[in-house]
Structure 1
Amino acid sequence: MSERRIPGVRAPWATGLVLFLVLATSAGIFMSRPRDVSPVPQSVLDSRRETTVAAGQAIARSLNGGLSSLAEIATVVDESMRQRNRALLIPFKSRIWKSLYVIDRASRVVVAQVGEPAQPAVLGEPMPSEAGSRLAQVGTAQQIVQYTPVGKAADAKYLLVGHLDPNRFGELLTVAGADGAWLLDKSGAVIAGTGNRTPPDGVVDQGMEPGEGASGSRVQHVAERTEVTAWASLGGKRPSNALGWTVVSNQPTTDTAAPGDASRRRGVTVAAVLAALTALVFAALYFVLVRPIRLLRRVAEAAGPDTPKTPKHGEAGQVATAFTRVRSTRLPQEPTEER
């Protein structure tokens, strides 16, 4: 019968020690490797997002403020039509609207106007019954149309309409970026912007319900430039927050957190700590497990009266004591003579 050799304890111990040292070295190399792209600090991302949110809030206040001014003018127009039977618009000709007119809601006849020619077709069907704003195509340009009932909304016969030029928001957009900020509608089309660049794609969430405030920022890499894109939907009160419009900014940045020597030092430190812990653990295993087993083997194989060095502590020490006691009490066997 062939003897099957059982592996000792020292071989697995040495194999485990080598493997863990290799693992510690690999971890250090991985953590100290140079990165291809340096991340942009979170403070830069937060700053770009905050300036974009500020621009969105300014535009929302401007839209709501324009509608409030339109409501005040509607009050004056209502009084003038009651007293003089005509709409008084001349004093408001130099206001922010490119075109300001009063339209009969039933017949769609313009009864008074100042500024550019009236465009009642942009109000659509049916005629609005409450105050609001919308984006409309007037000729080859887009304009923001604001409207409010003249008198009480329930029984108002006339509608006061004002057309705003979206380009007037360019100054407000410079807060987010002098040459890379845009006001986008729900479909992602540009309403107003600064500079001659085009806005980045995939920023406007077309599935977002109007009134849901959303803002954020991200890093993108174009050619050899690092750019920060930020976005913020129009907040504030109705009706501006119900339009579903978004302010987007895109600015290049040179403020990056380069890894430098910090990653390399961190990797070397981690590798050294792991290697030291591995050495300590396997040294403890050697003195607690491997060395006592080797001494027990010597005690078991000893045949003479001399007792080899034995373990003193733990289970290995108890087994060694038992071996020694058995050896000392065993009688020498004399050879028997045949008769």
Structure 2
Amino acid sequence: MHVRHDIDVVAATPGLRAPLVTGLVLFLLLAAGAGLYLTRPRDDSAVPRAVLDARRDTTEAAARAVGRALGGGLSGLAQLATVVDESMRQSGSPLLVPFQHRRWLSLYLVDRADRAVVAAVGEPPQPAALGAPVPSDAGMRLARVGAVARIVQYAPAGTRYLLVGQLDPARLGELLAPAGTWLLDRAGSVVAGPGHGTPPAVGGGSPAGSATRRGGTEVVAWASVTGALGWTVVSRRATAERPPGGDHRGRAVAFASGLAALTVVVLGAFHLLVLRPIRGLGERTTRR
């Protein structure tokens, strides 16, 4: 048979093995390249940059609003501490009642020496929420008060006392304007946010940013809240759904078409450049 004869000629002609091996290797490399193209990760760049930027901007705006609320509460408490210190000097009793319903759920004055509560308005005071030792400077922290979380802010009232105000973190939820937005503490626990869903996990490589998730069907964004607490506002938003498997189907068609074309080209070149000369050589050898 011609095929068997051609193979025998190739085996007997070392100088003709190189084109055959080269052609086969080239074909395998091209096929492997097409396979890598098919299996490469989906490109999420189809999500418009404007969508990513808009989500990041709204998340940063929410973070700034939370930062202003926390900073305003602390500065207001410091001003109130000055009034309380003055009232203690003049009358020996703190002036707290007029400020009871401003923003704090609980407002109380603590003796820094023994944690004794000198005066209080609102919810029952919880001096244990200050931690140990009792702070000497103004600041804030997130603490458990009974079974609920509270934002505890404090400011010195003179040299002896500490004025403490407890905020409800749920009030900060009103500032998280974009739907699907959460306020997280340093450990990633939810401080405030919608009562449903789970906040997205985001990378902390930059103070603010945005990215795509779930194959480009979801946009997430994050922004750090200014302050020493290390809190972050995160959000997610669904984008337009892509047809299921649309990308993979297109790549499969492209892969099949490309592989078919490569097969035709490689085998055609192999026949014209290798098999025909070998067959002609074999026929001449047979005639001799």
1:93 aligns with 2:100: yes
* Aligned equivalent of 1:27, options 29, 33, 39: 33
- Amino acid of the residue matched to residue 16 of structure 1? T
Closer, same or farther in 2 for the Cα pair 1:262/1:45, shift >3 Å? farther
Deviations 1:34-71 (A, max 9, x none): x8967464635554444434333322222122111111
Query: Any residues of structure 2 matched to 1:324-335 within 5 Å, and which?
Result: none
Q: Is the 8 A contact 1:49 1:230 kept in 2?
A: yes
1:12 to 11, 14, 18: 18
Determine the C-alpha separation between the residues in 1 that align with 2:214 and 2:249: 25
- Opposite residue 198 of structure 1, the aligned amino acid is T
Q: Which residue of 2 aligns with 1:243?
A: 229
Taking a change above 3 Å as real, the CA distance of residues 174 and 83 of structure 1, as seen in their structure-2 partners, is: same
2:70 equivalent to 1:63: yes
- SS where residue 147 of structure 1 aligns? strand
Alignment coverage as a number of residue pairs = 265
d(CA) in 2 for partners of 1:45 and 1:9? Answer: 60
Deviation at 1:7, TM superposition (A): 2.7
Q: CA deviation at 1:139?
A: 2.4
Corresponding residue for 1:123? 130
2 CA distance for matches of 1:149 and 1:273? 80
Structure 1: 5+ residue stretches without partners: 292-339
Asked if residue 113 in structure 1 is aligned to residue 120 in structure 2, the reply is yes
- Tell whether 2:76 aligns with 1:76: no
Post-superposition Cα deviations, 1:128-169, rounded to whole Å, max 9, x if no partner, equal 100010112222211101000013xxxx11111111000011
TM-score by length of 1: 0.60
**What is the RMSD of the two structures over their aligned residues, measured on CA atoms?**
4.5
Amino acid at match of 2:172: F
Q: TM-score when scaled to structure 2? A: 0.69
Q: Distance in 2 between matches of 1:109 and 1:31?
A: 70
The answer on whether the counterparts of 2:60 and 2:208 sit within 8 Å (CA) in structure 1 is no
Cα distance change, pair 132–277 in 1 and its aligned pair in 2 (3 A) = farther
Within 2, Cα distance between the matches of 1:198 and 1:261? 32
Say whether the 8 Å CA contact 1:100–1:118 is kept in structure 2.
yes
Task: For 1:270-309, list aligned pairs within 5 A.
Answer: none
Please tell me whether residue 219 in structure 1 is matched to residue 213 in structure 2: yes
Indicate if the aligned counterparts of 1:28 and 1:269 stay in contact, CA closer than 8 A: no
Confirm or deny: 8 A CA contact 2:152 2:165 kept in the other structure. yes
Structure 2 residues without counterparts, runs of 5 or longer: 1-10, 278-288
Q: d(CA) in 1 for partners of 2:16 and 2:115?
A: 99
Shift of residue 250 of structure 1?
3.7
* Amino acid paired to 1:259: D
The letter for the 1-side match of 2:143 is A
- Rounded to whole Å, the distance in 1 between the matches of 2:52 and 2:217 is 12
Separation in 1 of the partners of 2:132 and 2:36?
Answer: 65
In structure 2, the CA distance between the partners of 1:99 and 1:204, relative to structure 1 (3 Å rule), is: farther
Name 1:157's counterpart in structure 2: 160
The whole-number CA distance in structure 1 between the counterparts of 2:171 and 2:220 is 23
Distance 2:70 2:195 in 1: 22
CA contact (8 A) 2:84 2:96 kept: yes
Distance 2:134 2:14 in 1: 94
Amino acid corresponding to residue 193 of structure 1 in structure 2: G
Deviations along 1:152-206, whole A, 9 cap, x unmatched?
xxxx11111111000011122233xx2x332222333322121322335x6587x
| Partner Cα distance (2:249, 2:211) in 1 | 28
Tell me if the contact between 1:100 and 1:113 (Cα under 8 Å) persists in the aligned partners: yes
In the alignment, the residues of structure 1 paired with residue 63 and residue 70 of structure 2 have an alpha-carbon distance, to the nearest angstrom, of 11
**How far apart in 2 are the matches of 1:278 and 1:9?**
20
Structure 1: distance between partners of 2:233 and 2:252: 41
Q: What is the percentage of aligned positions where both structures have the same residue?
A: 46
Q: Report if aligned partners of 1:220, 1:229 keep a CA contact under 8 Å in 2.
A: no
Alignment pair present for 1:169 and 2:176? no
In the alignment, structure 1 residue 194 sits paired with structure 2 residue 207? no
> Is the 1:30–1:267 contact (alpha carbons within 8 Å) kept by the matching residues of 2?
no
2:154 maps to amino acid: Y
